[in-house]
Amino acid sequence: MAGSFQRDLLTSFLDRVQEHGEHAEQGGENISEFIMHHVQDHVIYPIHLFGVDLSITKHVLMIWIAAAILAILLPLIIRSRALAPKGPVNFIEWIIVFLKDAIIDPYLGEDGYKYAPYLLTAFFFVITLNLLGLVPMGATATGNISVTAAMALLTLFLVQFSSIRKFGFRGYIKSFVPPGLPGFVVPIIFIVEIMGMITKHFALAMRLFANMFAGHLVIFTLLGLIFLFKNILISPFPIFGILFVSLLEILIALIQAYIFTILSAVFIGAALHPQH
């Protein structure tokens, strides 16, 4: 039985591959269109203001849902806190204490109090967007380069702002060049340091985007296999694959939110405590 099943499956697979090869144009495009349709953004309500495209897209909607969930739930939960917290308050407090002990205190120290709201908001925002992407009918806004770029830009601005606030504008410009360099190297180092600064934040955006995008690409590709093979017998394999990748996605959703937050803290900390 089993042997014949495997043989059937293999024959079917080979048939489909052959078929796919023959009709590469038609079948391939359908599948890739299906995948891209599910991982890419779509305009829901087009808005154009002063020649700028400000359309509401599916991902913008997800961002608003996430923001609404956080803006309503967190204050409600935190308002009910007590000396000995329990239930949801305890959970939220545990997360915040964890972030405070693992990220805010080690990298920012005494300045932690000032930058904690940004880092906490970033963490909860990113993690909510990541997890909403795993909810059926949801979309992963963090799998959109625009969203992650916006987050990275916010961190970039906060880093510049924190440096200017602490050292003044002159000190901020000076902090790009380590002291004690011979004069002719200074312009080169200055340009290199600015490029490094931009690269760090570009990588911040790319890392989150690529991780979240790739997971969903894998899920939909596995799902696409069923349509590619046009055989119901193949479906358990992609389904189990999707289950596994989805579990992995949950892990990645948590890890990437943590990494985004810790890197933001590291960048701010580096701006506040330059190596000289």
Residues near other proteins, by CB under 8 A:
40-41, 47, 52-57, 59-60, 63-64, 67, 70-71, 74-75, 78-79, 81, 92-93, 96-97, 100, 113, 116-118, 120-122, 124-125, 141, 144-147, 149-151, 153-154, 213
CB of 11 to other proteins, least distance (A): 35
Closer to other proteins by Cβ: residue 28 or 187: 28
CB of 266 to other proteins, least distance (A): 20
Closer to other proteins by Cβ: residue 147 or 222: 147
- Strand-strand pairing, 56-57 and 52-53: unpaired
Contacts of 93 (CB under 8 A, 6+ apart): 81, 85
Closer to other proteins by Cβ: residue 19 or 111: 111
CB of 69 to other proteins, least distance (A): 10
Residue 162 C-alpha from the chain's centroid: 24
CB of 66 to other proteins, least distance (A): 8
Q: Which two tokens stand for residue 110?
A: 């005494």
Closer to other proteins by Cβ: residue 59 or 201: 59
CB of 203 to other proteins, least distance (A): 14
Closer to other proteins by Cβ: residue 158 or 175: 158
CB of 67 to other proteins, least distance (A): 5
Closer to other proteins by Cβ: residue 75 or 187: 75
